[in-house]
Chains A and B, each alone.
Chain A
Amino acid sequence: MVGSTKYEIAQTAYVKLVLHALKHKTSAVNGVLIGRVIGAATAGTEAGTAGAASSGGKESGGGNVTIEILESVPFFHSHLGILPMLELALIQVDEYFASLKSGLSIVGYYHANECFDDYELSSIARKIGDHIARYCPQAGILLLDNRQLGALSKGGTKKPVVQLYVREAVRGWQQSGPGGVQSADLVLKEATANSILTDYISEHREQLVVDFDEHLDDISKDWLNTNLFN
């Protein structure tokens, strides 16, 4: 890979996915990241819906690519390794954001492990990531980092409480940063993200998060979570 890849996550997407994991703290959870790819020569593959080819974004040369993550959609908190409802969720989310015609599409996947001290990206997460990367080659995976999450409650950290994994041609999914893929970096779009997150946790807002699993049990619950930030 030439140049560097920056993954910039917006506060709302970030807070929502961490709260989702906190709501179901005794099980693994997953979901998808929604946004757009800016500055990629090959942006907008077939199924990546209409507007993946950056609209009005800053076209930076030198092969630098930015993946703007603007939204997240919580998917499941049980049976993550089962295909049919995952496919259904992907179809619905893809179709929904395509219908908005805002140029947004699925640009990544997030995952939180069941065990607190498990920091590995599981093979199921890798497979789902592979699937998403087929439609969005720059897609990244965010894995919840329980150590950073613990540090958050003990006075705060400015760093995101998730780890970024990017896909390399030969080695597959690799963690970014020192000792891993140097050319990829995850940044929080708003510096206030972690303090908002801390506030929301103390207000027990994680109880408000609705994922696709719950939607299937009771379809009047909306996985768009429009009320979460009111």
Chain B
Amino acid sequence: MVGATEEMELQKLERDVEGGGGDVAQYLALVRKLRVRRSSTVARHGLALLNNSSARSKLGADVWTIYEQVAIAAMDCHALEAAKECIGALRTKFPESMRVARLEGMWWEAKGAWQQAESLYSDLLADNPSDSALHKRRIAMAKAQGNLIGAVEATNKYLETFMADHDAWRELADMYILLQMYKQAAFCFEELILSQPTNALYHLGYAELLYTMGGLDNLRAARKYYAAAIEMSGGQNMRALFGICMCGTAITQTKGRGRDEKDSVDLLSLAGSVIVKQYKEKCPNKVDLITSILDKQLVANIA
């Protein structure tokens, strides 16, 4: 995640760079550090920097990292010729490099030449079976070709070896959601919660899946995980607050009113009051809308 101050810094630098001034090298370094995807800006200004020989000579050893960064950004924008030049420069400097070979594979991918990319990756994997980035390229390739089932299988296989890769679990969950295999997606989130029990986003994601699956037990569990997400985020997470209200309504609809509904109504009105407070502060023109919706939900739970 990118923090608010870093985001501001990035935006300021980006404005300067787009305006023609500004330190492009500094901008590129920040983009790398924050791992954000700003391909079109990076490709345009990065290429201009690299094509200017006097500016390029001032970059020192960073120049090779920038070649790699710009190559990837150019491929993302489908500027294949420019990407090829960057990769060519790297190839001349590092003739044996595996990292450059990976870029070449990505270039074939960008071109849509899946077979060339695949055979290159298989050769590389034969020498380096434990290179996680290569495995990920193959998964990405299956996904790009619309082969979601294949991508899921490959990710599962990848996770047998690289169990601690949280992003991969998250990606697998997303793919299961696309396939509407919610149970399997929920399993991924269970893994994530176990490995990082204090991450509010995982509790939130799990709650949303439980709600999507529906049924009384799942809805009650969803409410608990939403509550956990609220606690961990210090009551700031709007999705979790709204989630509590949605769960309340859905539970009432599923089973009708019962004896344990006192707690439910309290929770609902508590979450509702926090939501309204936030809207009063930050979004006053929607307070009436939100209040009227929350009132209806509350009435449905009491009446």
Contact = CB atoms under 8 A, between A and B. Distances in A.
Interface of A: 26, 79, 81-85, 87-88, 91-92, 95-96, 99, 115, 117-118, 122-124, 216-220, 222
Nearest to A223: B286
Given A83-B212, A83-B214, A219-B238, 16 more contacts: A79-B177, A82-B209, A83-B211, A84-B222, A84-B247, A85-B208, A87-B246, A92-B289, A92-B293, A96-B289, A99-B289, A115-B144, A123-B180, A124-B178, A219-B282, A220-B282
Contacts of B282: 218-220
Interface residues of B, number: 31
A124 B180 contact: yes
A47 to B, nearest CB: 13
B283 A216 contact: no
A92 to B, nearest CB: 7
Contact of A216 (B144, B222, B239): B239
Nearest to A85: B239
A219 B177 contact: no
Contacts of A85: 208, 239, 242
Contact of B283 (A84, A88, A219): A219
Contacts of B292: 95, 99
A84 B211 contact: yes
A29 to B, nearest CB: 14
A115 B278 CA distance: 37
Interface string B280-303: 001101101110110000000000
A81 B211 contact: no
Rank and list the top 7 A-B pairs by shortest CB-CB distance, nearest first: A83-B212, A81-B177, A220-B282, A219-B283, A84-B211, A82-B208, A84-B246
Contacts of A218: 282
A123 B178 CA distance: 9
A81 B208 CA distance: 10
B114 interface: no
A218 B285 CA distance: 14
B37 interface: yes
26 contacts: A79-B208, A81-B178, A82-B209, A83-B208, A83-B214, A84-B207, A84-B208, A84-B222, A84-B239, A84-B242, A85-B208, A85-B239, A88-B246, A91-B293, A92-B289, A92-B293, A96-B289, A99-B289, A115-B146, A124-B180, A219-B282, A219-B283, A219-B286, A220-B283, A222-B283, A222-B285
Contacts of A84: 207-208, 211-212, 222, 239, 242-243, 246-247
Contacts of A83: 208, 211-212, 214
Contacts of B278: 219
A95 B144 contact: no
Contacts of B261: none
A216 B288 CA distance: 17
Contact of A95 (B209, B222, B246, B293): B293
Interface in B155-194: 174, 177-178, 180
Contacts of B208: 79, 82-85
B57 to A, nearest CB: 33
Contacts of A222: 283, 285-286
B64 interface: no
A96 B285 CA distance: 11
B279 interface: yes
Identify which of A84, A118, A122 gathers the most chain B CB atoms within 10 Å of its CB. Answer: A84
Contacts of A92: 289-290, 293
Nearest to A213: B239
Contacts of A88: 242, 246
Nearest to B241: A216
Identify which of B222, B247, B283, B290 gathers the most chain A CB atoms within 10 Å of its CB. Answer: B283
Contact of A219 (B146, B180, B279): B279
Interface string B251-292: 000000000000000000000000000110011011011101
